[in-house]
Amino acid sequence: MAIIQLISDFQSGSYKIGLLHSQLRQSTKDIDIIDISHNIRLQNIVEAAFVINQLEIDENQNIITLIKIGSEGKNIIYKNKNNWFIFPNNGLLSLVFEIGKNEAIYVCENSELMATINQLLRNDMSRLIRIENMVFRTQKRPMEIENMLVCERIYTDPHGNCYFNLNKSQFDQTFEIGRFTAKIQFVRDAKFYEIHADYNDVGQGVALLMFSKTGFLKLAINQGNASQLFRIKENTQISISKI
């Protein structure tokens, strides 16, 4: 059985989710539909890229990941690890994957989407059309200022855990463990001096920094909501300085 994963900015409870399910069920057979998230903020491709980067793709399964962010009229078809991804043509693809110069990337109109999905399920690429004008965007990186890194919030999960655009490899290249101080923008009294491996490293209700399974810096509270406590907004920054 093929799997179709859905990611959108429709928002939970929207009738659009049901319509999409209905279209997929009517036009395809023997599929399993998985709703990854429909709560991406409207047209927020940075949040969408974060969620897509959390997916664990099995090369041995027939998986199509359909991403509906914004109202683009064209869809981009891209194959990675033997599985297909369908993106809007708004730069999201280039935020998720490093695209080689000669990689095969295809395009289809929204009106042809269901027929194209059926085609992909059959591994039939005969009618796919190569894209000529794809939108590219560059992922925003942490700012490096002398002995400081400044990173921005890119995603907040339903539990209030906040993720920032600093990955573990860049952090490790810059700082020694125990040799830094981290501050949240506009929050005077909260400072962090270490990266924890587990929530239970601190007491209940205590804030901590850690790295997610996919390597993003994460601000959390043991049994609490970091987003609410620290009033984290879309572009809230954390500055990390050497000491």
Q: What is the pTM of this model?
A: 0.88
Residue 171's SS3 state is: helix
Q: Distance of alpha carbon 81 from its chain centroid, rounded?
A: 17
The per-residue pLDDT for range 191-231, each reduced to its tens digit, is: 999 999 999 999 999 999 999 999 999 999 999 999 999 99
* Average pLDDT of every residue of the chain: 92
**For position 101, what pLDDT does the model report?**
75
What is the pairing mode between strands 162-167 and 148-156?
antiparallel
Query: Could you report the per-residue pLDDT of 105-138, keeping only the tens digit for each?
Result: 999 999 999 999 999 998 888 889 999 889 999 8
pLDDT bin (cut points 50, 70, 90) of residue 243 is confident
Which amino acid is located at 141 in the chain?
R
Cα–Cα distance, 185 to 180 (Å, whole number): 16
Domains of the chain: 2-130 (3.40.50.10790), 143-242 (2.40.30.90)
E strand residue ranges, the chain:
2-8, 31-37, 63-68, 74-80, 83-88, 105-109, 129-130, 143-145, 148-156, 162-167, 180-184, 191-192, 207-211, 216-221, 237-242
Structure tokens at 83: 């599985």
